[in-house]
Every structure is written in structure tokens, then in C-alpha cells.
Amino acid sequence: KQEVTQIPAALSVPEGENLVLNCSFTDSAIYNLQWFRQDPGKGLTSLLLIQSSQREQTSGRLNASLDKSSGRSTLYIAASQPGDSATYLCAVPRGGTSYGKLTFGQGTILTVHP
């Protein structure tokens, strides 16, 4: 059974810092890995998706990496801003397929203070 773990559970940083969020998964036979953002009281927004054949994806100040062999992914946020404050979740398809049935980590609550 695939298990996804995110560390740390919460993170508080001053504005301008570069930071790394971690995601680990137990079954390395994944099709892809996604990072989502969730604002308080809202649904999830997809940030980045890394296919199993890729090592990283970038979008603006966000960079996500994937190491299937070690079962790890990281989300790097450069020059953090208060607007980045949210919960960040990673997810992988269940059973290694791309049928969209996702297994989520517990999330990292990020607070960026001015």
C-alpha cells in the first residue's frame, strides 16, 4: 500500500527566505507526482506535476524535484512571500497508474511572515 509522508508538518519563515518542503513515498513505481496548494477554507490548486521520467519541473519561483529510486520529492520555493502562506500537499496516483486516484500526504502548513 502506497504511503505518502510530508515533512515538516508546519514551517514558519521570514519573508525572503528560500525553503524546501519534503515528500516521501513508499512505493517507487509511480506514474507521476503532483504538488498542490490549499488556502484556508478553499479547495486544492495544482502547482506542479512531475512525470516519472522527469527529474524536475519549474514554475516561476517554484521548483519540484523527483527521485524515484529514493522515494522522495522536494518542493523548493525561492524568495518566499507572505502570499505563499498556505498548506502544500504532494500526491501520487494509487497503484502506480495515471487513473487519477491519488494518495495524498498530510501536508505542510507554511507561514511566511513579513
Cβ atoms within 10 A of the Cβ of 27, count?
Answer: 16
d(CA 110, CA 3): 22
Q: 26, 59, 98, 111: which one contacts another protein (CB under 8 A)?
A: 98
Q: For residues 65 and 87, which CB has a smaller minimum distance to another protein in the complex?
A: 87
Q: For residue 89, give the amino acid letter.
A: L
Q: Which of 98, 93, 114 is nearest to 27 (CA)?
A: 93
Q: For residues 2 and 63, which CB has a smaller minimum distance to another protein in the complex?
A: 2
Q: Is 34 in the site for another protein (CB under 8 A)?
A: yes
Q: For residues 3 and 15, which CB has a smaller minimum distance to another protein in the complex?
A: 3
Stretch that binds another protein, among 14-22, 65-73, 75-83, 96-104 (CB under 8 A): 96-104
Q: 13, 19, 49, 62: which one contacts another protein (CB under 8 A)?
A: 49
Number of residues that bind another protein (CB under 8 A): 26
Residue 49: phi and psi, rounded to 5, are: -130, 130
Q: Which of 100, 91, 90, 94 is nearest to 29 (CA)?
A: 94
